[in-house]
Structure 1
């Protein structure tokens, strides 16, 4: 079953009805995905809102938010391919696999060549086995992994099969290597960055991430939080005048 196009709303179109809407939102850095949902509930005055695919607080980009009866489309939207751009930093390892925690290991990366990066890229194309980060919202034993990690518990995180449909290096400056990835549901780009560092023998962690597309939907079409707030305010004022 495809998603009805008349339900999908992106900037600058305002929903004709909030009973059943698929809203495209550009999540800002520093916000959790649920922070966005809380904000939307206040802006739109609707309680029943969910999102289809979490973005870490550090990440920015497309968050598809399902309003009202559109929440029934959750699994369908989550199954769409994701497109990310990002940057990993060679020679530094963190517990969370991103810049949200302190560096715990360092290694010299300056001997690496473009051929080394190309070999690593090729190794992570197609169907791969991936272990999610311990700092994640996955539940093990009924509890979120990040809660266990914050207590310093050692957890055996089961690997999962994910698919990397496309993976390209786009820039390399100093220790920072930028990329674009098209991947399946359930792929952790933090784990991908960490695993590439492991394969190269120098370690790595993710320092920037932006989700640019989910299926046919692009972040360029999404509302920002300020633009949503401004349009909601303008409409309230127009109704009261």
Structure 2
């Protein structure tokens, strides 16, 4: 590929990557950034190396809306092993406890699993990227240090039972932001009295995006041409990832004012975020409506 600018290309938008198992989210990000030769890139909604599935990669200005994408619900396919607990909550860790599960019948297992549907409290796992005094918890866990974590509310919107055989329970789960599937499986195992851990995890939904809309990295590599055109056609517009935010179209004067950080007056009322479009109907950022009808800038592409 021709690379005229050593710093990379000014390209904006989102690549819907289907991350492979065994790859960290940051490693996947760097591979996509290099392939597109983008100046700037970031991911949203990190996935463990064990997990595969939807990982939105934000390029250029799209990195500015990553924080808003984190608010979205997500869906997962998960297979879990009953009767064993590991120190990480998944099959990458060491088994720390083994208990009998053979006495459990399918009805007990299903009823216990679906009892977690709704608003629940979760204690974040030690093997997570949450920070304590600036240090990721997983780094402390690797040092044998465990710190107290406060429980936090999450919502399990939907749980579909897919099957159970030989100690392996398969589920589809739709949940709110901040939900740890590893913790959910551990909690189901504890309630069953036998323990459990994740053996396979795949993110199949992200907001309104379905796994069928994503691309494997190998697919993107095959599309890479010297002029980048075929590859760039797979970049999703930033605003397309925010379907639940109302569109607000501004005049030239309003666009100038809000780009300078000034409030603008509209006929909108209430506290909610909106997508901002300039006089040419080009998306340029996120604003927030106020009770008095003004819109204040939150994150702008400038």
TM-score range, shorter chain: 0.7 to 0.9
Q: Distance in 2 between matches of 1:212 and 1:235?
A: 32
Candidates 167, 176, 183, aligned match of 1:191: 183
Name the counterpart of 2:206.
214
Q: Distance in 1 between matches of 2:190 and 2:226?
A: 51
Unaligned runs of 5+ in 1: 1-16
Candidates 56, 72, 76, aligned match of 2:68: 76
- The two structures have a TM-score, normalised by structure 2, of 0.71
Candidates 8, 30, 44, aligned match of 2:36: 44
Q: Is the 8 A contact 1:86 1:206 kept in 2?
A: yes
Superposed CA RMSD in Å reads 1.7
1 or 2, which has the higher helix percentage?
A: 1
Name the counterpart of 2:84.
92
Q: Output aligned runs, 1:171-182, within 5 Å.
A: 171-182=163-174
TM-aligned CA deviation for residue 235 of structure 1 = 4.6
Q: Distance in 2 between matches of 1:118 and 1:37?
A: 37
TM-aligned CA deviation for residue 41 of structure 1 = 1.6
TM-aligned CA deviation for residue 18 of structure 1 = 5.5
Candidates 23, 27, 33, aligned match of 1:35: 27
Name the counterpart of 1:5.
none
Candidates 191, 194, 204, aligned match of 1:202: 194
Name the counterpart of 1:53.
45
Q: Distance in 1 between matches of 2:107 and 2:172?
A: 18
Q: Distance in 2 between matches of 1:86 and 1:69?
A: 33
* Larger deviation, residues 73-82 vs 199-208: 73-82
Q: Distance in 1 between matches of 2:226 and 2:170?
A: 39
Q: Distance in 2 between matches of 1:58 and 1:166?
A: 23
TM-aligned CA deviation for residue 47 of structure 1 = 3.2
